[in-house]
Amino acid sequence: MNPRLRILRDAVVHNTRILLERSGVSRMVAVVKDDAYGVGVSWWLRVLPVEQVAWYAVATPDEISPLRTLGVPPDRILLLYPFYDHGLFREIGKEGVHVALGSREMFDLVTADPEVIPPERIHVSLDLDMVRTGFGWEEWSECVSRWPWDRPPRAWMGHFAHTPEDGSPFEETVRKAHVYHERLRSFWHQEVPAHLANTAVALGGISLPQRWIRPGIGLFGVHPVRKEPDPLRFALRLEAPLVQVHDVPAGTGVSYGHRFVTSRPGRIGVLRIGYGDGLPRALSGKGWAIFRGFQAPLVGAITMDLTLVDLTHLPFVPNPGEWALLLGEPPAMDLWTWAEAAGTIPYEALTHLSVRIQREIVEADQPTTSQRIPPATSPAPRSSSKMPR
Ligand SMILES: Cc1ncc(COP(=O)(O)O)c(C=O)c1O
């Protein structure tokens, strides 16, 4: 039995609505790079509300073909970062994918053969304040004087280094976005539509000259900055099966190195999840699992496939085969708690979820297994605690 990741369709629909409403636009560029942030793009595409997606954005050329296999038309795919391979350029051009054009070298490649990728499939990427990908304004001004077509690009895009919570540096970037937008409009004598806002900016309800937003993490219901209250709903539940239960005497050391030793006679459960599945080893001795609404602390070193939980204080004995909730909404660990305890951020924690975790879609927002069962009020004898299936 492998751990399972449940994806809650209702929550994704809710998050999409909140992000769009807050930013006053009706469609988005859904960022699905890195296998949809590690969640699994083939699953993710089935829950994203297709009518609200103008493009699916990927980071690398090899992320295009999984989308094509899933039936996404090429002109709904946007490749976000520069690439310089001539063969690839022709291939992508022939296929009909949209590309972000954001460097001088890529400009030279694309304009040397202006038939291959027409401007209708070009999103000019301008660096707003990150010095990451995208033209600086000087570089762009020099390139645009060599624009070989008589039509403008399909769109322009920028990305924010700051969140609205950062105050003046963020406001400075917003001003810059307005200035760039006006300059592009006056150059082409018409509006060049833009996609600018990531999740943090979209949630901030900031007035920006954009037709689309470009969120990623918010669609999963995660705020990029830890904050309460959060209008989003976490759309994921990570559960692991209990594979064994041991009754142990006081003074028993568990897992590698015996980093945890029982202080009294107790009960240790073994979960089929480990760092090989993406449960950070740094959560050893810090995290917890939920059984029927009750917390059971993770104890001892997390190993590649297995993690131990202290079941001693539970008022019942969970059965092998029963599912424990590791990531979800409180009382489970939320993604911020999980990530911070592991010394990282939700983005990295998500992208580390391994392919061996089974994925499934939960159609309606039904309670998860561990919440559905009312908490037991008194300890149940081991043999009689049956898990409804
Ligand atoms: C270019 C670009 N646009 C949009 C996003 C989405 O950002 P977020 O996941 O914070 O919404 C990312 C995230 O990495 C990105 O790199």
pLDDT of residue 388: 26
Does the CB atom of residue 15 touch ligand 1 within 6 A?
no
Residues 166 and 306 in one domain: no
Of 160, 84, 77, 88, the closest CA to residue 126 belongs to 160
- Please give the Cα distance from 108 to 356 (Å, whole number): 42
Residue 2 lies in a domain: no
Does the CB atom of residue 32 touch ligand 1 within 6 A?
no
Residue 38 lies in a domain: yes
Query: 85 is in which domain, residue-wise?
Result: 9-220
Residues 119 and 164 in one domain: yes
Does the CB atom of residue 214 touch ligand 1 within 6 A?
yes
Residue 227 lies in a domain: no
Last residue of a domain, one of 187, 220, 253: 220
Report CA-CA distances (Å) from 111 to 55, 96, 115, 144, 158. Answer: 23, 16, 8, 11, 21
pLDDT of residue 227: 80
Does the CB atom of residue 100 touch ligand 1 within 6 A?
no
Residues 145 and 279 in one domain: no
Residue 175 lies in a domain: yes
Does the CB atom of residue 216 touch ligand 1 within 6 A?
yes
Which atom of ligand 1 approaches the CA of 202 most closely?
A: 11
pLDDT along the chain (389 residues), means of 10: 97 98 98 98 98 98 97 98 92 96 96 96 97 95 96 98 95 98 97 98 96 98 88 97 98 98 97 98 96 98 98 98 97 96 96 97 68 36 28
Q: Which of 29, 31, 56, 80 has most ligand 1 atoms within 8 Å of its beta carbon, as the pocket-test mutant?
A: 31
pLDDT of residue 366: 60
Return the number of other C-beta atoms located less than 10 Å from residue 252's C-beta.
16
Which atom of ligand 1 approaches the CA of 214 most closely?
A: 4
Does the CB atom of residue 134 touch ligand 1 within 6 A?
no
Residues 300 and 378 in one domain: yes
**Total structural domains in the chain?**
2
Q: Identify whether the C-beta of residue 99 lies closer than 8 Å to the C-beta of residue 92.
A: yes
Of 280, 296, 285, the closest CA to residue 353 belongs to 280
Which atom of ligand 1 approaches the CA of 80 most closely?
A: 1
pLDDT of residue 147: 97
